[in-house]
C-alpha cells in the first residue's frame, strides 16, 4: 500500500462503509452487490487480456465469448432479479460493452410487452433459449430522432398473408443497432405499415435475418457491421437493407395495433404506453452518468493523492498534486456532481417504479411531468458527466491519455449517451415544451402542482425585478436558500424564453418559427430547470441521513455543488438580481474554503463508491496507489513489445537507410 | 454534387478564393500549398486503407512505411523549407519519425558543438541515426528539475554513466522511442566531481545500428495503447549503467572537460525560443483542428435533414435550427480567430528571433508568457469545440468515418503536453501579476500588458450604479475595450486575493496557491482579450469588401458570444448592464441568422481537400450516405458473412440451453 494513500484514508472524518450503504440503498444491498461482484471476480473464466491490446475483431470475439459464458453463469447461479443481473453485468463488462446487450435490453423486453398471447408463446421461449438472438432496429442512415421520418416499409399482401419489407432508399437502410451486424439472427424492425393502400405509421415487425442453422444471411437481407467507432469496439453495430423480404402476418407485433387477414387495420387503444420504456431508459442513463463520473473521480482523486509534482514551497519535497488549489477546483466539484447524480438516479428510479404502479392502475396523470423531467435530466447529466470525465482524464496529466488509465474507455463508451436515446438538444427542447406549456397554463390562471409549481403566478410574483429595487435575501451559506435561488433562476429563465416566443410572434412569424427562433433561450430555461431539480434533490437527500459524520461531509459536498453552479452561471444570478456583486465574491471565497475543507475526505469519498480494482481496470486508480510499477508492467504487455525489433524495421527503415 | 450544398455555395455573398488567400498569407502561398498537396494526393504510394480498419501493430507498420516513403519524396522534390516540410508531414499523417525531424535534428542543430555536428549530423540526416528526444519520466512531467535520470562522469574512462535509479525515473512517453529510434537525446542530471549540475542533454545510442537490437543496459519498448496516436510508438527507456563517451554530451553551451571540470553555459534564456516556437505552432494547430471539425459539421448540417420546424413541410436542413447554428457558428468564428492568432504569433516569433540573434532579449519574457497562456486557452476551447462539432453530427459523428473521433483524440493531448494547460495559465498569470505590481509601483508598462498601468485602470468602472456604461455592443472596438477592462479587473482581483492571503500570514507561495483559481481566471481573461484584439486588428488588413463584411460578422459573433458565456464577469465588473446583456442575446441571434447563408462558403475557404479531411460526413460534394455505406462494407468484421465467434461460442451456447 502506498503510504500517501494510507495517510489519506487515516485522515478521513467519516465512516466510509456507512456512506457506501447509503449509496447502495441499505446494508443488505451492499452485501448482496459485493457477493455478486465476487462471483465474477473470482471466476477464472472471466479473466482476459486487456481488450485495449486486441484488434477490433478480437475484441468482438472476446465479447461474444464473455456474453455466452455470462448467460450460462447467470443460469447456474440462479440470478434473475433485473437489478442483480444489471449488477452482475456491470462487473463483468468493466468499462466495455457486451455483445448481446440489445438482446437483453430491447429484444426480450419488446417481446414481453408487445406480443399478443400466441406470439408470446412462440417467440419468448425461442429468445430465452437464444435460438432467436435479436436486436431492435429503429434508426436509419438518414433518420434518427424524428421517428415519423423513418422510411422502411412493410406492405401487407393479403394474397399470401405476408408483409413485404423494403428499404426503398439509401437513407432508409437501418443503421446503428447494436448486435445487428454479425450477432443477431432476428431483429424487431420498425417500419411504416402500408395496407389496403393506406399508410398507418410505424409498427414493429419480427424479421428473421440469418439462418437459425448456418447463421448465413437470408435472401433479400443485406446485413453487416457499420465499421469502427469512437468506442463500443466490442459491439457489432450494424446496417440492414431489406429487399422484398417476406414475413408472415403474425410477425407484426400485435398486442395493441393489428392487421387482420384481409388487411384491415385495427388501431391501438392508447399511444401513451410507450412513454414508460423511454422514461425507464432515460432514468437508467442518469444513473450511468453518475457511475461514469464516480469511476472517473475515483481514478483521478486516488492518482492525485499519490502523484507528486513541482513545488508549492521552494526546498520542500514535491507535493501531492491534490494539494494544488487548481486540482481541487477541477476534481471536487465533479465529485460533488457524481454524488448529486447518484441521488437523482435513485430518485428517478423510485418515481418510475411508483408511477409504473399508477399506470398499471390506468392512472397516467404523472407521466407527462416525469417524461419531461427525464428528457431534460438525461441531457443535463450526460453533458456534464461527459465533460467531467475528460476533466478527470486531463487532471491526470499525460498518463490520463494512456489506455492504462481507463479514462479514455470510460469517456468513449459514456459520451455516446449524449446523442443516443434522444439527442440531447432535442431532449432539452422536449422539457422546454413542458415548461412553456406549464408557464402558459399558470399565466392563464391555472394552479400548477408538482415540480413546476414554481411557475405559478403567485410564486413568480415574489421574484425580484432588478438589482436595485429590492434587497437580496439569498444566504450563500444556507443550502435551502440556494435551492430557492436556483428555483427563482429557473422561473426567470422560463419567463425569458416565453417572452422571446411572444416577441417573435409579434413579428408575425408562425408559432413554429417563433419556437425555433427562441430555441437558445428554451434550452437555457430547461438547463436551469434541471439544475434546480438536481440541487433540490441533493438537499432533500441530506434530510434522510442520520449518521453525523456522513451528513456533515455530504452537506459540504452539496454546498460545494450549489455554489460552484452559481459561480459558473454567475451571469444568470446577477442578471436576475438574485445575487449581488459582493455576494458573488463571497461565493468565490466560500468555494475555496469548501475545497480546503473537503481535501482530507477526498480519497474516502471516492472509496465510498466502492469500485473494486477489477471494475475500474485502471492502473492510475488502483486502491493500493502503487501506480508506477503497474504502469511499467502493463506497458510491457503491449502488442508492439512482442518482438524486440518490429518487422517494419526490416521492411522499411533498413531499405530507407540503404537508399540515402 | 448534392443539390443542398450546391445551393449553399450559390448563396454565399463573398469570394471564397480571396478568403483562402488571406488564410494562407497571400495568393502565392495558396498556390504553393496546393502544389505540395497535389504531390502527395496524386502519389499512389501515399494511398492506404483507412487506418481505423487496422490493428495497432498494422497502423504502426503503415505509418513507418509512409514515413520512410515521405523522406525519400522530400529529398526527391527538394523540399527543405521547414514550413513546407510541415505541410507535407501533416498531409501524409506520418508519426513515428516526427520526433526525429521535429526534435532530434533541431536539437543537434541548436545544441551540438561544431565537432559534434560533424560526427552526428550527417548520419542523422541520412537516417542511419534515427533519434528522438527523451525528457519526461514516469514520475515527472512538467517540473523539469524533478527529473531523476543521472549521467555521472567517470574521468578514468572519460565516459558518462547513465542510469535510471528508480521506477519513477524511467523515461516515458517520447514518440518514436519504443521501436523506431536507435538513438535518443536524453535529458539527465549531470554529476561530475561529486556535484550535481542540473539537467543536460546527452546523445545515447539505444539500438545496434546494424541489427536494431537494444544495446546492453538499455531497456526500451512501447508504452502501450493510448487514446489516440495509435501510429506512434511512444516509448519507455530504462538505463542500467549505460556508458557513453564524453563527447556525447551536447556541448555547444555547457561543457564537461576531460578531467570532469564543469563549464557553465553563457545564458539560460536561449531555450525559451524553442518553447515559444512550439507553443505558437500549437496555437496554429488549434485553429486547424477546429477548422477541420467545423468543415465537417457544417457541410454535414447542410445536407442532413431531420424533424420538422413547420408541420407538413419537408424535413429542414439541420443547419436551419437555431440551436445548431448556436453550436457551430461561434466555433467557426473561433477557428478563424485562432488562425489569425497563429499567424500573429508566427510573425512575432520570427521578428523576435531576429532580435535575439542580435542579442536583444527584451521582448522574450512577454512573448513567452503570452505563448504559454494562449497555448492553454486555445487548446482547451478547441478540444471542447471539436467534441461539440462531433456531437452536432448526431449519432454519425460517433462513427470513425466522420473523422471527428480521430481529430479529437489526436488533438486533445495538446492540453497536457508541451506544458500542462493549468501550469501554462499560471505561468502567464505570474507575468501578469509581476506586471501589475510594477505598474502599481509606478512603472510605466509597455506592450500587451500596458492596460495594467495605473492610468488605464483608473478609467475603470467601480460599480454598476456609480457610472454610466459606455460599452457599445454593436461596435467591435468598444467590445475589445470591454475585454481589456475585464482582464484588468480580474488581474486586480487575483492580485488582491494574494494580498489578502498574505495578510493571513501565510507564505508568499501558499498565498499564490490559495489564489490559483483567481490567477487562472485572470490569465484566461487576458488571453481572451488578446484573441479578440487580434481578430479585430486583422479586419483592418482586409481590403475586399465582401470578405471584410463576413469576417466582421464573425468577429462580432466571437466577441459577443464570449461576453454571453462570461456574462457574470462583465456584470460583476460593471462593464455591462442587465439590459445590455439582453441586447447581446438578441444581437447574437441576429448574427447567427446573418451568417447562415455564408456558413458553407466560410468552411470551404479553409480549403481542406477531401483527402485531407478523410471524413465521409465532411465530403465536398455532400454525398454522405452512399459513401457511409460503402465505407462500412469495408469494415474488417465484414470480411466474412459469419464471424468465427458464432461457431466458437454462440452455437455451443444454443446447444447448452
Q: For residue A32, give how far its alpha carbon lies from the nearest alpha carbon of chain B (Å).
A: 27
B102 is in an annotated binding site: no
Instruction: Check residue B632 and report its DSSP letter.
Output: H
Query: With b meaning 16 or more CB within 10 Å and e meaning fewer, what string describes A472-507?
Result: eebebeebeebbbbbbbbbbbbbbbbbebbeebbee
pLDDT of residue B88: 56
* Tens-digit pLDDT profile for residues A322-353: 999 999 999 999 999 999 999 999 999 888 88
Best mutation target among B649, B651, B652, B656 (most A Cβ atoms within 10 Å) is B649
Chain A residue at shortest CA distance from B423: A326
Q: Where is average pLDDT lowest: A4-8, A409-413, B40-44, B266-270?
A: B266-270
Active site positions of B, annotated: 418
CA distance A202 to A256: 13
pLDDT value at B612 more than 60:
yes
Place of cell 475528460: A390
Asked whether the beta carbons of residue B514 and residue A466 sit closer than 8 angstroms, the reply is no
Whether the Cβ atoms of residue A523 and residue A516 lie closer than 8 Å to each other:
no
CA distance A188 to A209: 10
Average pLDDT taken over every residue of chain A: 93
From first CA to last CA, the distance across chain A in angstroms is 53
CB within 8 Å of chain B, chain A residues 424-483: 424-426, 429, 466-468
| Full-model pTM | 0.96
Q: What value does the mean pLDDT take over residues A303-317?
A: 89
**Neighbouring-strand partners of residue A240:** A174, A223
For A578-612, the DSSP string reads: SS-HHHHHHHHHHHHHHHHHHGGGHHHHHHTT---
CB within 8 Å of chain B, chain A residues 266-285: none
Active site positions of A, annotated: 421
pLDDT of residue B464: 39
Asked whether the beta carbons of residue A588 and residue B518 sit closer than 8 angstroms, the reply is yes
Q: Please check whether residue B52 touches A, CB under 8 A.
A: yes
E strands present in A226-327: 238-242, 245-248, 258-259, 265-266
Q: For residue A10, give how far its alpha carbon lies from the nearest alpha carbon of chain B (Å).
A: 24
* Three cell numbers, residue B142: 512538467
For B450-479, the DSSP string reads: GGGSHHHHHTS---TTTS-----TT-HHHH
E strands present in A263-302: 265-266
Q: What value does the mean pLDDT take over residues B240-248?
A: 98
pLDDT value at B626 more than 80:
yes
Asked whether the beta carbons of residue A645 and residue B421 sit closer than 8 angstroms, the reply is no
Whether the Cβ atoms of residue A602 and residue A306 lie closer than 8 Å to each other:
no
Asked whether the beta carbons of residue A521 and residue B585 sit closer than 8 angstroms, the reply is yes
CA distance B576 to B567: 8
pLDDT value at B356 more than 80:
no
User: In chain B, helix, strand, coil percent, each to 5?
Assistant: 60, 10, 30
Q: What value does the mean pLDDT take over residues B3-8?
A: 98
Asked whether the beta carbons of residue A144 and residue B626 sit closer than 8 angstroms, the reply is no
CA distance B403 to B409: 10
Of B95, B270, B243, the residue nearest B179 (C-alpha): B95
Q: What value does the mean pLDDT take over residues A414-428?
A: 95
Q: For residue B289, give how far its alpha carbon lies from the nearest alpha carbon of chain A (Å).
A: 17
Q: What value does the mean pLDDT take over residues A378-391?
A: 98
CB within 8 Å of chain B, chain A residues 61-120: 61, 64-65, 67-68, 71-72, 75, 99
Choice between A505 and B81, residue whose per-residue pLDDT is larger = A505
Q: What value does the mean pLDDT take over residues B219-243?
A: 97
pLDDT value at B266 more than 80:
no
Between the CA atoms of B341, B347, B350 and B354, what dihedral angle is there, to the nearest 10 degrees? Answer: -130
Residues from chain A contacting residue B578 (CB–CB below 8 Å): 466-467, 574-575, 577
* Tens-digit pLDDT profile for residues B100-126: 988 899 899 989 999 999 999 999 999
Which of B212, B383, B632 is closest, CB to CB, to A227? B632
* Tens-digit pLDDT profile for residues B318-354: 999 999 999 999 999 999 999 999 999 988 888 887 8
Which of B141, B394, B637 is closest, CB to CB, to A397? B141
* Three cell numbers, residue A472: 437580496
CA distance B236 to B313: 60
Asked whether the beta carbons of residue A146 and residue B320 sit closer than 8 angstroms, the reply is no
Residue B199 C-alpha from the chain's centroid: 26
Asked whether the beta carbons of residue B653 and residue A71 sit closer than 8 angstroms, the reply is yes
pLDDT of residue B465: 43
pLDDT of residue B270: 56
Q: Where is average pLDDT lowest: A328-342, A402-416, B32-46, B587-601?
A: B32-46
Residues from chain A contacting residue B69 (CB–CB below 8 Å): 652
Best mutation target among A182, A393, A637 (most B Cβ atoms within 10 Å) is A182
Residues from chain A contacting residue B653 (CB–CB below 8 Å): 68, 71-72, 130
Which residues are CB-contacts of A549 (< 8 A; sequence separation ≥ 6)? A13, A14, A15, A18
Q: Please check whether residue B342 touches A, CB under 8 A.
A: no
Best mutation target among B2, B135, B179, B511 (most A Cβ atoms within 10 Å) is B179
Q: What value does the mean pLDDT take over residues A510-514?
A: 94
Whether the Cβ atoms of residue B54 and residue B635 lie closer than 8 Å to each other:
no
Residues above pLDDT 90, as percent of chain A: 79
CA distance B641 to A221: 12
Q: What value does the mean pLDDT take over residues A67-72?
A: 90
Q: For residue B421, give how far its alpha carbon lies from the nearest alpha carbon of chain A (Å).
A: 9
Residues above pLDDT 70, as percent of chain B: 95
Q: What value does the mean pLDDT take over residues A72-94?
A: 85
Q: For residue B23, give how far its alpha carbon lies from the nearest alpha carbon of chain A (Å).
A: 31
pLDDT value at A109 more than 70:
yes
pLDDT value at A3 more than 60:
yes
Residues from chain B contacting residue A209 (CB–CB below 8 Å): none
CA distances from B467 to A24, A471, B460 (A): 56, 21, 10
Q: Where is average pLDDT lowest: A59-63, B100-104, B351-355, B585-589?
A: B351-355
pLDDT value at B462 more than 50:
no
Instruction: Check residue A210 and report its DSSP letter.
Output: B
pLDDT value at A280 more than 50:
yes
* Tens-digit pLDDT profile for residues A568-591: 999 999 999 999 999 999 999 999
Q: Please check whether residue A173 touches B, CB under 8 A.
A: yes
Give A515's pLDDT tier (boundaries 50, 70, 90). Answer: very high
Q: For residue B150, give how far its alpha carbon lies from the nearest alpha carbon of chain A (Å).
A: 19
Asked whether the beta carbons of residue B629 and residue A131 sit closer than 8 angstroms, the reply is no
Residues from chain A contacting residue B638 (CB–CB below 8 Å): 181, 224-225
Calculate Rg over the CA atoms of chain A.
27
CB within 8 Å of chain A, chain B residues 361-390: 383-384, 387, 390
Q: What value does the mean pLDDT take over residues A589-615?
A: 97
Q: Please check whether residue B506 touches A, CB under 8 A.
A: no
B354 is in an annotated binding site: no
Asked whether the beta carbons of residue B142 and residue A310 sit closer than 8 angstroms, the reply is yes
Residues from chain B contacting residue A239 (CB–CB below 8 Å): 629, 632
Q: For residue B545, give how far its alpha carbon lies from the nearest alpha carbon of chain A (Å).
A: 29
pLDDT value at B547 more than 80:
yes
Chain A residue at shortest CA distance from B420: A397
* Tens-digit pLDDT profile for residues A431-458: 999 999 999 999 999 999 888 999 997 6
Which residues are CB-contacts of A476 (< 8 A; sequence separation ≥ 6)? A482, A563, A566, A579, A583, A586, A587, A590
Q: For residue B582, give how far its alpha carbon lies from the nearest alpha carbon of chain A (Å).
A: 9
Residues from chain A contacting residue B227 (CB–CB below 8 Å): 393, 401-403, 408
Which residues are CB-contacts of B372 (< 8 A; sequence separation ≥ 6)? B279, B419, B424, B425, B427, B428
**Neighbouring-strand partners of residue B132:** B184
pLDDT of residue B641: 94
Residues from chain B contacting residue A53 (CB–CB below 8 Å): 224-225
CA distances from B529 to B331, B448, B563 (A): 17, 10, 11
Q: Please check whether residue B144 touches A, CB under 8 A.
A: no
pLDDT of residue A460: 60
CB within 8 Å of chain B, chain A residues 188-207: none
For A54-111, the DSSP string reads: S-HHHHHHHHHHHHHHHHHHHHHHT---HHHHHHHHHHHHTTS--TTHHIIIIIHHHH
Q: Please check whether residue A57 touches B, CB under 8 A.
A: yes
Asked whether the beta carbons of residue A400 and residue B417 sit closer than 8 angstroms, the reply is no
Residues from chain B contacting residue A575 (CB–CB below 8 Å): 567, 571, 578, 581
* Three cell numbers, residue B460: 475603470
Amino acid at each position: 500500500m502506498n503510504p500517501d494513500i494510507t495517510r489519506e484514508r487515516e485522515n478521513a472524518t467519516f465512516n466510509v462503509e456507512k456512506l457506501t450503504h447509503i449509496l447502495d440503498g441499505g446494508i443488505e444491498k451492499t452485501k448482496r452487490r459485493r457477493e455478486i461482484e465476487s462471483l465474477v471476480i473470482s471466476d477464472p473464466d472471466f479473466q482476459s487480456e486487456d481488450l485495449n491490446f486486441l484488434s477490433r475483431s478480437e475484441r468482438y470475439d472476446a465479447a461474444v465469448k464473455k456474453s455466452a459464458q455470462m448467460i450460462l453463469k447467470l443460469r447456474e447461479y440462479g440470478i434473475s432479479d433485473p437489478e442483480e443481473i444489471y449488477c452482475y453485468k456491470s462487473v463483468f463488462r468493466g468499462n466495455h460493452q457486451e455483445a448481446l446487450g440489445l438482446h437483453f435490453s430491447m429484444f426480450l423486453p419488446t417481446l414481453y410487452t408487445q406480443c399478443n398471447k400466441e406470439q408470446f408463446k412462440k417467440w419468448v421461449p425461442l429468445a430465452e433459449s437464444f435460438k432467436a438472438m435479436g436486436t431492435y432496429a429503429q434508426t436509419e442512415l438518414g433518420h434518427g430522432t424524428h421517428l415519423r421520418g423513418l422510411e422502411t416499409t412493410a406492405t401487407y399482401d393479403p394474397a399470401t398473408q405476408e408483409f413485404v419489407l423494403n428499404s426503398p432508399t439509401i437513407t432508409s437502410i437501418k443503421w446503428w443497432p447494436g448486435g445487428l451486424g454479425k450477432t443477431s439472427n432476428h431483429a424487431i424492425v420498425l417500419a411504416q405499415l402500408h395496407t389496403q393502400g393506406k399508410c398507418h405509421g410505424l409498427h414493429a415487425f419480427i424479421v428473421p435475418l440469418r439462418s437459425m442453422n448456418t447463421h448465413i444471411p437470408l435472401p433479400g437481407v443485406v446485413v453487416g457491421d457499420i465499421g469502427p467507432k469512437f468506442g463500443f469496439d466490442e459491439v457489432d453495430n450494424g446496417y440492414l437493407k431489406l429487399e422484398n423480404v417476406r414475413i408472415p402476418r403474425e410477425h407484426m407485433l400485435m398486442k395493441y395495433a393489428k392487421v387482420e387477414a384481409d388487411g384491415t387495420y385495427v388501431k391501438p387503444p392508447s399511444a401513451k404506453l410507450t412513454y414508460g420504456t423511454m422514461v425507464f431508459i432515460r432514468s437508467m442513463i442518469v444513473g450511468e452518468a453518475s457511475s461514469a463520473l464516480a469511476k472517473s473521480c475515483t481514478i483521478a482523486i486516488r492518482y492525485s493523492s499519490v502523484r507528486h509534482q513541482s513545488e508549492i514551497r521552494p526546498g520542500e519535497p514535491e507535493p501531492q498534486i491534490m494539494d494544488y488549489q487548481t486540482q481541487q477546483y477541477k476534481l471536487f466539484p465533479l465529485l460533488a456532481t457524481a454524488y448529486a447524480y447518484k441521488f437523482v438516479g435513485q430518485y428517478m428510479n423510485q418515481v418510475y417504479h411508483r408511477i409504473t404502479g399508477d399506470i398499471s392502475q390506468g392512472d397516467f396523470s404523472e407521466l407527462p411531468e416525469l417524461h419531461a423531467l427525464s428528457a431534460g435530466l438525461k441531457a443535463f447529466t450526460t453533458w456534464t458527466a461527459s465533460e467531467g470525465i475528460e476533466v478527470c482524464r486531463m487532471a491526470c496529466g499525460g498518463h490520463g491519455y494512456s489506455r492504462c488509465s481507463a479514462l479514455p474507455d470510460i469517456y468513449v463508451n459514456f459520451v455516446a449517451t449524449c446523442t443516443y436515446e434522444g439527442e440531447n438538444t432535442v431532449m432539452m427542447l422536449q422539457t422546454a415544451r413542458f415548461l412553456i406549456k406549464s408557464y402558459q397554463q399558470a399565466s392563464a390562471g391555472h394552479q400548477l402542482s408538482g415540480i413546476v409549481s414554481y411557475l405559478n403566478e403567485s410564486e413568480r410574483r415574489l421574484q425580484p425585478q432588478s438589482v436595485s429595487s429590492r434587497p437580496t435575501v439569498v444566504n450563500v451559506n444556507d443550502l435551502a436558500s440556494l435551492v430557492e435561488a436556483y428555483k427563482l433562476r429557473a422561473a426567470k429563465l422560463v419567463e425569458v424564453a416565453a417572452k422571446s416566443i411572444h416577441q417573435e410572434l409579434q413579428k408575425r412569424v408562425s408559432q413554429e418559427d417563433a419556437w425555433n427562433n427562441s430555441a437558445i433561450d428554451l434550452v437555457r430555461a430547461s438547463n436551469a430547470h434541471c439544475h434546480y431539480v438536481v440541487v433540490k434533490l441533493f438537499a432533500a437527500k441530506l434530510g434522510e441521513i442520520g449518521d453525523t459524520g456522513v451528513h456533515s461531509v455530504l452537506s459540504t459536498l452539496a454546498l460545494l455543488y450549489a455554489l460552484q453552479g452559481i459561480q459558473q452561471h454567475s451571469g444568470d444570478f446577477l442578471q436576475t438580481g438574485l445575487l449581488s456583486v459582493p455576494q458573488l465574491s463571497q461565493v468565490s471565497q466560500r468555494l475555496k474554503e469548501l475545497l480546503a475543507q473537503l481535501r482530507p475526505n477526498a480519497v474516502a469519498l471516492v472509496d465510498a463508491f466502492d469500485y473494486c480494482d477489477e471494475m475500474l481496470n485502471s492502473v492510475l486508480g488502483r486502491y493500493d496507489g502503487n501506480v508506477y510499477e503497474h504502469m511499467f508492467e502493463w506497458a510491457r504487455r503491449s502488442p508492439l513489445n512482442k518482438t524486440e525489433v518490429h518487422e517494419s524495421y526490416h521492411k522499411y527503415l533498413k531499405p530507407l537507410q540503404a537508399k540515402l
